[in-house]
Structure 1
Amino acid sequence: MSNPEFQGAAASSAPFDAIIVGGSYAGLSAATQLARARRRVLVVDGGQRRNRYASHSHGFLTRDGSGTAAIVAEGKAQLMAYATVSWLDGTAVRAAASSEGDGYDVTLADGTLVRGRRLVLATGVIDELPPVDGLAERWGRSVFHCPYCHGYELEQGAIGVLATGPLSMHHALMLPDWGTVTFFLNGAFEPDGAQLEQLAARGVTVVRAPVAQIAGVADVVMQDGSRHAMAGLFVATRARPASSLAGELGCALEEGPMGPFVRTDEQKASSVPGVFCCGDAGRMAGSVAFAVADGAMAGVAAHRSLMFGLAPAA
């Protein structure tokens, strides 16, 4: 193992008990459970957290309002205090059943190859935003997707929902609990009669005119030049897996309303024996709190499988 970014426990030719691909909230949580069971653990991390665009995290018990990067940095520092943990900064580009029997081989972009008896995928997802000028630049700062994560901080102000499809109806009906809502259809969705009644009952204003750009904090500028000043804007993104590893391994996927995710059982085991998946890559929708919980379950389940053998595939 020649990678110069290798940190932690000394390298060995023996396979790790578990390799965790992804060192954000879910991966750190999974690794911590295995480390506390005194198992040899390797975390491979490419440094691309899904919420890296947001400065603060909300709704996570004891860390409400903490910096997103600070939570990860503190989690990593605590994890690396365990003597059996190793860390590699790099991107895992391939994974396959080990040629030497039990476990999996993981190859990094620089050619480094590591082997683990169990594999935990905490690889996350990538949000695909609609092509509206000014939207991407405000993503995570004044343009959001999770009301529970960011709605409260808008102080019951004017909130916009930019339609991307039928799922945006859900956003529009939820968000009046956080402020005064305007639903910008922008040609992406047209509510039927019953849905219009639901929107009216929730006090939602519907705007059908086409959107030209997002400006200011989160102002919605229409093609006719009119402008709607918003405290924040919510968009239902399409999420795609940030890594191809699950597909390469043959893990079964499910199609959720926001995109595909790895199908797992209640213990976060995938359909491939010995491969677990946690965090946003393995659920329909996520948050920091969900990711940490999923990671803890995946780590415990991976450890139990090392002790008692693998359960039937999900």
Structure 2
Amino acid sequence: MHTSSLISSADSPQPPELISNPDVSKYVKEGTAVNLICSVEASCPKQPPTLSWTNIPKSANIITQLQEKPDKTHSVFSSMTFNASYMDHRLSISCTVTYPRNISNNTTVESTVMLNISFHPKETHIIIEPSASVTVGTNVTFTCKSKASPSNNMTYTWYKHEKKTPLAQEKKMSFIVTHNNAGWYFCTALNKHGNQSSEEIQLLVTGSFKAVIYGCIGGLLALLVISAVFYYMRTKTLSQTNTRRKDQTTNKNEDMLDIYYNNAIEINTNCKMSVKETDDVHYEEIDFSKPHTKHINKKNPETEYVEIQESERKKQIKSVQKQEELYTLVKIN
């Protein structure tokens, strides 16, 4: 009796072997140097499989090579080294092997590992709802946000800038706003690896809505009152200035009239005196005691005196008329 056995083999490629040192499946502290090694058997060294990585950390350095093992078999090794960073926490890194085939489609298989990195709180900041500028009576909520690993059993503490004692020890802090709540706030997040404080954020508190309306109305009324007072003072100042200018003009005209009037009187007086003196001079020059036979046909002395007197009087009258015309012209202006 012969027994025969049927042996079948599945033509399915093996995934690459992925080893982590230290084991990143467990928590690795931030800053630790990590080495990932991906390897696969190369049954045909002339056509070895290729290895590639996905989700590579920024600080990673990769070396890939074909190695001969002590048993004369060959393997493809790819080594990745990097420093653990909190930004790589929960990052899935894959090593993919590609087997060459005689057909157009190559066969790929991959192995994956997830990074678990522990670190103290990072990027700690505050969120204020509804906003950082609120009115009195508003219900406001402060939330302290932070990245940390592990994040379980984290504690949060709230502080106000000018106070040393904590305001609260919880992730969220809520209260009804009053004017005393205005100021600068910050929070501190803490886990077993350390702590980090947020930047200070300012809470601006204004009056209630009605107070704002009343304040605006009061401000407008005050502005109107100030404008009215300014207009009244400006008008009064201009009126006083115009009055002073009119008084100065009137006084100046009166002074000019006095000057012209006095000059007219003085000229008139001088003219009269000149006439009198001229009369006397001409009168004395005429000699009636001596006969002048040579001048029989000429006018007698009395006639000459009268003509001279009439001429001087005409000059006097014309001078007075000119002064009166000048006086009248000044008065009209």
Q: TM-score range by the shorter chain?
A: under 0.3
- Of Structure 1 and Structure 2, the greater strand share is in 2
* TM-score, scaled to structure 2: 0.17
Tell which has more relative contact order, 1 or 2 (C-alpha 8 A, sep 6+).
1
Structure number with bigger Rg: 2
- Of Structure 1 and Structure 2, the greater helix share is in 2
